[in-house]
């Protein structure tokens, strides 16, 4: 999860993650989040096999809000279709444009004020 997603959710209260060894598909639900502002599915960023889950965030979901890039990570996935799916990922100079579009979309949906 990134800061934009976390801002739209608010503080996490509960989450579920797939078990190690589970196959996940890019864009499909792989878990669930319950937060201050909404409850919804957690989507796989890429297709692959879950090789590790962060048990600590299951016990303390606030770590995702407090340290999303350090101790608040969710799962490690071994990609199964990296060459094709990585082309759909946003990176580099495209990130600011993507963030602007996401903010506009979230505001339109009433997720952000």
pLDDT digits 0-9 by tens, 67-102: 888 898 999 999 999 999 988 887 788 777 877 887
| Separation between Cα atoms, residue 41 and residue 38, nearest integer Å | 10
Number of domains in the chain: 1
Identify the burial level of 44 via C-beta atoms within 10 angstroms of its C-beta, where 0-12 means exposed, 13-18 middle and 19 or more buried: buried
pLDDT digits 0-9 by tens, 25-68: 999 999 999 987 778 899 999 999 999 999 999 999 989 888 88
pTM of the model: 0.76
* Residue span of the structural domain in which 36 resides: 3-108
Question: Sorting pLDDT into bands at 50, 70 and 90, what band is 8?
Answer: low
Structure tokens belonging to residue 40? 């919804």
Residue 69 lies in a domain: yes
C-alpha torsion sign, points 86, 4, 57, 17: negative
Residue 113 lies in a domain: no
Question: Sorting pLDDT into bands at 50, 70 and 90, what band is 23?
Answer: very high
CATH number at residue 47: 2.40.50.100
Residue 84 lies in a domain: yes
């Amino acid at each position: 999860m990134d800061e934009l997603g976390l801002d739209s959710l608010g503080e996490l209260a509960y989450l579920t993650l797939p078990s190690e060894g589970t196959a996940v598909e890019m864009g499909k639900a792989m878990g669930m989040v319950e937060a201050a502002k909404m409850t919804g599915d957690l989507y796989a960023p890429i297709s692959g096999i879950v090789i590790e889950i962060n048990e600590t965030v299951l016990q303390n979901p606030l770590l995702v809000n407090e340290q999303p890039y350090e101790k608040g990570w969710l799962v490690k996935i071994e990609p199964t279709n990296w060459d094709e799916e990585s082309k759909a990922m946003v990176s580099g100079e495209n990130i600011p444009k993507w963030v602007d579009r996401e903010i506009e979309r979230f505001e339109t949906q009433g997720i952000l004020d």
